[in-house]
Structure 1
């Protein structure tokens, strides 16, 4: 099944801004924490769109619908946003499981950190890790939810390997896709048939993406607004 993303540019606010677009040949089952198309259901497309660091819209779901319409995407889909230049996407594969990660670690956090006054952010934080994964076998609803936990655990393991005392960033999102047909696998944990390669591929993608310096797309393109 064709699941590789296309790199497409959109004209917005005077810029040509990149996005990754997955257009599978047939609709896929999905579980996602994305601002558009989150939850569990059948989805026809996925978009991971770069935005400038000056981004200030408070309706990301509506914005992503606008982007999808520009790209001619129809029906239910999943939309993610990031300050990372999505041309820097990292792809890893393990036993047929494919993971794509855009990794920005400029604003790492610990999920269970005690409440405290917000610290001043870095000058140009790129603080989003977006992960899109494809598992080549149907997963049950429970296994899909478990797969989200598995790839998130793998992300945290990767950050530890990078020497960061963090579990992620405050705006990370994960999407896991699988075929809608066939007998459903009951489990998606890190020692299950499909959870194990998902964990390994997710770990490798985040580790390798986080190991290289990431410059915000808008800084690279001299966005001084």
Structure 2
């Protein structure tokens, strides 16, 4: 199981910009929709990096790899980006499951919105809800995929309870970590043993993040969309 992430910074345009870094004590199996290290595989670290709301790089995987290299990270890992100050991450737990969420709601949207982007239209907006989940038991590949849906449903439930007419933002990302070895839990749905715990912890973290008061804008133009 990873310990709490370490808050660190990088120097950018003469200012210190925050990053959250999980250095895993041992490699873990991950499923992720992150721009770096997405898919299913064994990962050794997770990085959640704040970027300006004006961020428009079209190679976030390359950018995250550069940030990881500057931090001395090696081996495969997961890299996430957000316009939120990651120092404001919310965390919640439920019977062994840990969840961390950075909740940026500056560009909320419905999943089934009509024609959100046409060909050649830049879809990037980094308000972003990033969710990192750690389960203490091995989840089967199917359960990992199912758990991604469960996390997304719990996030949408929290936004509904906040009165927000949206299911998320267009750039939300999920990362779920579990041990590489051990008997595999077969299910990750919201009424399964581990899926229910993941859902409850995710719901609490996103609800807390979304309900937090808006913070003052930082000098490096990162808006705290909470």
Is this a same-fold pair by TM over 0.5? yes
Aligned pair count reads: 216
* Deviation (angstroms), 1:140: 0.5
1:121 matched to which residue of 2? none
2:86 matched to which residue of 1? 86
Report the Cα distance in structure 2 between the residues aligned to 1:14 and 1:79, rounded to whole angstroms. Answer: 23
Report the Cα distance in structure 1 between the residues aligned to 2:63 and 2:24, rounded to whole angstroms. Answer: 22
Report the Cα distance in structure 2 between the residues aligned to 1:27 and 1:126, rounded to whole angstroms. Answer: 28
* Deviation (angstroms), 1:193: 1.1
Of residues 213, 217, 220 in structure 1, which corresponds to 2:218?
220
1:86/1:111 CA distance change after superposition, 3 Å: same
2:133 matched to which residue of 1? 133
Secondary structure of the corresponding residue to residue 188 of structure 1: coil
1:192 matched to which residue of 2? 192
Contact 1:126 / 1:214 at 8 angstroms: preserved in 2? no
TM-score (norm 1): 0.91
Contact 1:49 / 1:80 at 8 angstroms: preserved in 2? yes
Residues 53-202 of structure 1: pairs in structure 2 closer than 5 A: 53-115=53-115, 127-202=127-202
Misfit runs of 4+, over 6 Å: none
TM-score (norm 2): 0.91
Secondary structure of the corresponding residue to residue 149 of structure 2: helix
Q: Does 1:31 align with 2:31?
A: yes
2:122 matched to which residue of 1? none
Contact 1:98 / 1:135 at 8 angstroms: preserved in 2? yes
* Deviation (angstroms), 1:115: 2.3
Q: Deviations over 1:155-209 (max 9, x none)?
A: 0000000001110000000000000010111000001111001000000000110
Contact 2:134 / 2:178 at 8 angstroms: preserved in 1? yes
Report the Cα distance in structure 2 between the residues aligned to 1:54 and 1:84, rounded to whole angstroms. Answer: 12
Report the Cα distance in structure 2 between the residues aligned to 1:209 and 1:155, rounded to whole angstroms. Answer: 11
Flag structure 2 segments of 5+ consecutive residues without an equivalent.
Answer: 119-124
1:223/1:168 CA distance change after superposition, 3 Å: closer
Report the Cα distance in structure 2 between the residues aligned to 1:106 and 1:10, rounded to whole angstroms. Answer: 24
Report the Cα distance in structure 2 between the residues aligned to 1:106 and 1:203, rounded to whole angstroms. Answer: 19
* Deviation (angstroms), 1:3: 2.9
Secondary structure of the corresponding residue to residue 190 of structure 1: coil
